[in-house]
């Protein structure tokens, strides 16, 4: 029983670690709870020492990347200033999770139980975050000064609760995938199935209202995967159990209806927002501006005026009708600047990197951005060709393990691919943030558990004979 509780608690900490990118201030209680739980492991010093040695052997490639990242931090002129401090916090959390995984995950059953618990917590938090995002999109109560809150939490527009709406929408996408996977494979575990399916539609809806273009792009891949699951051959390859076609078809039907609601809401709600303000006490001006911004970003993904916002306010109509900006337009200049910085490196810097000093150059040149928003280019700048080569090699290793164990790790593999797409255009260092870092690590753990199980079976067979 103790083992079950500890795995459940570990899963809760993992999801809380990811939730810090979607819910403001979650990071602070997480750090306290995680630190306390980790210290508790050292009560039994002998077991803690064994777990520490086990984590070093098992996750040596990952630890090597962490060491390179730490060296890059300490070689930077101001290692504890601004963004670099956030990277140090991420390194601390990832290192702690390596130790805790070694402490509590000893078999494939433990591993699968951990994933099941993570899935449940993700679904629960995604629904809570969606409801909070819905409230934030519509309401600006008198007792809260949004000018003050915007300055503290980075509120700008849309449904996102944090400044980085991509991380907000990524958290929702992770919860959505886990939610659909659960109801397709284990519908008997869900009591109110229709309500559960509607909750998944709420997550989709709020993801759109976040204004994240990457969310829309990845959601397209998600629905293509759902349609492919209708082909029996594919689900036999990916899923160990038969999936429920009934709930898959209901989910897809609900989604078509939901997209109609999203389109109608974004197109026509500004026409009735003043009346809705009186009836529902919403902030009509704030809601209209949110709708305009979200509609513009969706149109930039479609590269056309896919959503036409109908509003009595001419100023809002003019904003919507402005020229569309390409999705990659803002990225290209950052990539060019990153390439220019690398070209000016010395030979040793090109091989070993130059730490996170490029933050200062980006801040001077762009004023707004600190890094190139290109995962491989960022890794190249701070750790050189050596660090990038090692990172790509370990990334490929994790990916290959996923592909060889699709029946057991199929859902994790898909979520890993989705997180990598987000990571590629946002993350700064080896692991970045959110669920990506742990998805990078989990297949290495699973492979090690398989190897140990095979060795154990061989020893048992020899003993019997």
Using DSSP, state whether 242 is helix, strand or coil. coil
Segment 370-382 shows an average pLDDT of 87
* Tokens found for residue 361: 């150059």
CA–CA gap between residue 249 and residue 318 (Å, rounded): 40
Look at residue 222 and tell me whether its pLDDT is greater than 90: yes
Q: In which band, very low, low, confident or very high, does the pLDDT at 156 lie, cut at 50, 70 and 90?
A: low
Work out how many domains the chain is built from and give that number.
1
Segment 54-66 shows an average pLDDT of 92
CA–CA gap between residue 346 and residue 254 (Å, rounded): 57
Residues with Cβ < 8 Å from 418, sequence gap 6 or more? 170, 173, 174, 177, 218, 221, 222
Segment 81-97 shows an average pLDDT of 78
pLDDT digits (tens, 9 = 90+) for 175-205: 999 999 999 888 888 889 999 999 999 999 9
Least trusted range by pLDDT, from 26-40, 94-108, 326-340, 390-404? 326-340
DSSP secondary structure code for residue 229 in this structure: T
Q: In which band, very low, low, confident or very high, does the pLDDT at 147 lie, cut at 50, 70 and 90?
A: very low
How high is the pLDDT of residue 152?
39
Instruction: Tell me, yes or no, whether 108 lies in a domain.
Output: no
Residues with Cβ < 8 Å from 36, sequence gap 6 or more? none
pLDDT digits (tens, 9 = 90+) for 281-295: 888 888 888 888 898
How high is the pLDDT of residue 329?
59
Instruction: Tell me, yes or no, whether 126 lies in a domain.
Output: yes
How high is the pLDDT of residue 334?
82
Of 21 and 220, the structure prediction assigns the larger pLDDT to 220
Look at residue 234 and tell me whether its pLDDT is greater than 70: no
How high is the pLDDT of residue 328?
58
* Tokens found for residue 204: 């989709």
Q: In which band, very low, low, confident or very high, does the pLDDT at 96 lie, cut at 50, 70 and 90?
A: very high
Mean pLDDT of the chain: 84
Look at residue 155 and tell me whether its pLDDT is greater than 70: no
How high is the pLDDT of residue 236?
58
How high is the pLDDT of residue 84?
66
Q: In which band, very low, low, confident or very high, does the pLDDT at 428 lie, cut at 50, 70 and 90?
A: confident
The range of the structural domain enclosing residue 153 comes to 117-327
Single out the residue of 376, 374, 419, 429 nearest to residue 399, CA to CA: 419
| Residue 201 near residue 130, CB atoms below 8 Å | no
Q: In which band, very low, low, confident or very high, does the pLDDT at 100 lie, cut at 50, 70 and 90?
A: very high
Instruction: Tell me, yes or no, whether 409 lies in a domain.
Output: no
Instruction: Tell me, yes or no, whether 216 lies in a domain.
Output: yes
Of 422 and 465, the structure prediction assigns the larger pLDDT to 422
Q: In which band, very low, low, confident or very high, does the pLDDT at 380 lie, cut at 50, 70 and 90?
A: very high
Look at residue 326 and tell me whether its pLDDT is greater than 80: no
Q: In which band, very low, low, confident or very high, does the pLDDT at 254 lie, cut at 50, 70 and 90?
A: very high
Q: In which band, very low, low, confident or very high, does the pLDDT at 322 lie, cut at 50, 70 and 90?
A: low
pLDDT digits (tens, 9 = 90+) for 299-308: 888 777 788 8
Least trusted range by pLDDT, from 85-94, 248-257, 319-328? 319-328
Look at residue 420 and tell me whether its pLDDT is greater than 80: yes
Segment 297-323 shows an average pLDDT of 71
Instruction: Tell me, yes or no, whether 112 lies in a domain.
Output: no
What are the φ/ψ torsions at residue 105 (nearest 5 degrees)? -105, 105
Look at residue 79 and tell me whether its pLDDT is greater than 80: no
Q: In which band, very low, low, confident or very high, does the pLDDT at 229 lie, cut at 50, 70 and 90?
A: confident
Whole-number Cα distances in Å, 9 to 69, 124, 268, 313: 28, 15, 45, 51
Using DSSP, state whether 306 is helix, strand or coil. coil
How high is the pLDDT of residue 237?
55
Instruction: Tell me, yes or no, whether 414 lies in a domain.
Output: no
Q: In which band, very low, low, confident or very high, does the pLDDT at 11 lie, cut at 50, 70 and 90?
A: very high
Supply the pTM of this predicted model.
0.89
Q: In which band, very low, low, confident or very high, does the pLDDT at 171 lie, cut at 50, 70 and 90?
A: very high
Look at residue 227 and tell me whether its pLDDT is greater than 80: yes
Of 455 and 98, the structure prediction assigns the larger pLDDT to 98
Place of tokens 């098992």: 58
Instruction: Tell me, yes or no, whether 212 lies in a domain.
Output: yes
Instruction: Tell me, yes or no, whether 140 lies in a domain.
Output: yes
Look at residue 400 and tell me whether its pLDDT is greater than 90: yes
Percent of residues, the chain, with pLDDT higher than 90: 38
Using DSSP, state whether 355 is helix, strand or coil. coil
Residue 396 neighbours by CB distance under 10 Å: 10
Look at residue 170 and tell me whether its pLDDT is greater than 90: yes
């Amino acid at each position: 029983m103790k083992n079950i509780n500890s795995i459940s608690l570990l899963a809760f900490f993992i999801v809380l670690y990811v939730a810090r990118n979607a819910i403001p201030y979650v990071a602070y209680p997480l750090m306290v709870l995680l630190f306390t739980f980790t210290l508790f492991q050292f009560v039994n010093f002998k077991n803690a020492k064994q777990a520490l040695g086990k984590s070093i052997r098992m996750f040596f490639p990952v630890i090597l990347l962490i060491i390179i990242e730490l060296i890059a931090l300490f070689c930077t002129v101001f290692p504890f200033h601004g963004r670099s401090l956030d990277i140090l916090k991420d390194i601390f959390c990832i290192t702690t999770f390596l130790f805790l995984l070694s402490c509590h995950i000893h078999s494939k059953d433990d591993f699968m139980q951990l994933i099941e618990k993570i899935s449940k917590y993700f679904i629960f938090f995604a629904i809570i975050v969606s409801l909070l995002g819905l409230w934030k999109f519509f309401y600006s109560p008198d007792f809260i000064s949004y000018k003050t809150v915007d300055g503290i939490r980075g509120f700008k527009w849309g449904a996102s609760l944090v400044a980085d709406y991509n991380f907000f929408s990524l958290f929702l996408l992770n919860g959505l995938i886990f939610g659909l996977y659960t109801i397709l494979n284990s519908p008997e575990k869900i009591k109110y199935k229709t309500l559960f399916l509607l909750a998944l539609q709420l997550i989709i809806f709020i993801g759109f209202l976040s204004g994240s273009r990457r969310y829309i792009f990845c959601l397209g891949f998600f629905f293509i995967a759902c349609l492919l699951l209708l082909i029996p051959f594919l689900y036999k390859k990916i899923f160990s159990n038969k999936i429920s076609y009934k709930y898959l078809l209901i989910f897809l039907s609900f989604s078509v209806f939901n997209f109609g609601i999203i389109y109608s809401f974004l197109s026509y709600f500004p026409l009735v927002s003043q009346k809705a303000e009186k009836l529902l006490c919403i902030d009509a001006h704030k809601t209209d501006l949110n709708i305009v911004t979200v509609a513009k970003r969706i149109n930039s993904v479609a590269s056309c005026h896919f959503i036409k916002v109908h509003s009595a306010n001419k100023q809002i109509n003019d904003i919507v009708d402005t020229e569309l900006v390409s999705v990659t337009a803002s990225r290209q200049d950052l990539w060019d600047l990153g390439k220019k910085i690398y070209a000016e490196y010395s030979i040793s810097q090109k091989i070993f990197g130059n730490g996170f000093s490029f933050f200062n150059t980006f801040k001077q040149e762009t004023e707004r951005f600190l890094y190139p928003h290109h995962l491989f280019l960022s890794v190249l700048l701070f750790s050189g060709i050596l660090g990038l080569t090692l990172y790509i090699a370990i990334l490929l290793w994790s990916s290959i393990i996923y592909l060889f164990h699709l029946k057991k790790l199929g859902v994790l593999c898909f979520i890993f691919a989705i997180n990598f797409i987000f990571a590629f255009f946002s993350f700064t260092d080896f692991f970045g943030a959110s669920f990506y870092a742990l998805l990078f690590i989990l297949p290495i753990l699973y492979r090690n558990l398989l190897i140990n199980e095979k060795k154990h079976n061989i020893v048992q067979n020899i003993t019997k004979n």
